[in-house]
Amino acid sequence: MPHLTATLFDPVHVGSIALANRIVMAPLTRNRAPGAVPTALMAEYYTQRASAGLLISEATAISQQGQGYSDVPGLYAEEQVEGWKPVTHSVHAAGGKIFCQLWHVGRVSHTSLQPHGAQPVAPSAVVAKTKTVLINDGVPTFTDTSEPRALQAYELPDIVHTYAAAARNAVQTAGFDGVEIHAANGYLLDQFLKAGSNQRRDDFGGSIENRARFVLEVVRAVTDAVGAPRVGIRLSPVTPSNDAFDPDPQPLFDYLVRELAAFNLAYVHIVEGATGGPRELPDRPFDYTGLRRAYRAAGGKGAWMVNNGLDKALAEQVVKEGADLVAFGRPFIANPDLVERLRRGSAFNEGDRSTYYGGGAKGYTDYPTLGKR
């Protein structure tokens, strides 16, 4: 239903968690976790942005097999879990809430990042026409992804179990308020959903129901592990990111959100259009209002989060039209006080793209806030 009198700054509940406002910091890969272990600098970075109603962490690998980029954090080793504790503690001390985005990149990886130099895994042995980021001697380099191998059906339950284990690590040990299942942007779960990357002929390929099966098994396992009110999911129906493509996404995602409605999730996070690009893709039309209606008609009560290319005016518009939450990505990189800038209508700092991936404090924790130059 429309929220005709709603504003970006209204408090709102998401699952079992009270948020101070409707503004969400979207997950942003920054490649500043050497050895996949979170650092004190990351704690400072997230705490600076804790005025957002909800922070969603950078994508965090559930296993070494799930790693696809250099210096991104994980949640599968004890030192990684311990490394996240100061982050969540500091965010909570600042009054913020933070979910961890759970990630398996699938075929968007490189053999140098995989256990024993193995091939990356995927639904099918189809190379992703995209690049990953490798960091050598502190220098990030965009590198072609490696040829993947197709997962055998008997391997899938173990990956499902690994998602659940990472969720428990996040919520029960590391102190996150919840987790977001990353099923977007051409990574493993999205690869199973979309026909361009899923050419399987077993129970996990072919029909819409089969291609959605693996995602739904992961959702079931994660909600069983930490409770559905602490679980969100991210979807990107038409983004071309990482060579993601489906020739008929509307019925696929309408089916998926109807199935998700039964899980009582905290939220459904939708990337509208091309991730980090245009919101409208003429060659990939999609009815996002219809998608939300399909979810609600099936009984879905989770918060509906809209993401991609939002400014203040558009964010206010989508909230009035029925979105419960609005996610901002890149603006949060250069504007740790983005909530206050939106409140005042102040200009945004410009981000330094040369420091987006890898490095130290420069371009990470040194952006000025209002009144500080």
Name the catalytic one among 163, 187, 288, 295: 187
Separation of alpha carbons 268 and 233, rounded Å? 5
Separation of alpha carbons 208 and 251, rounded Å? 8
Separation of alpha carbons 161 and 167, rounded Å? 10
Has 187 been annotated as catalytic? Answer: yes
Cα angle value 86/89/90 (rounded, 5°): 85
The HSE-up count of residue 125 (CA atoms within 13 Å, CB side) is 5
To which residue do tokens 């299942």 refer? Answer: 181
Return phi, psi of residue 304, to 5°. -105, 115
| Contact between residue 294 and residue 257 where contact means Cβ atoms under 8 Å apart | yes
The full DSSP string for 88-120 is HHHHHHTT--EEEEEE--TTS--GGGSGGGPPP
- 200 CA to centre of own chain: 25
- 197 CA to centre of own chain: 19
Positions marked catalytic: 187
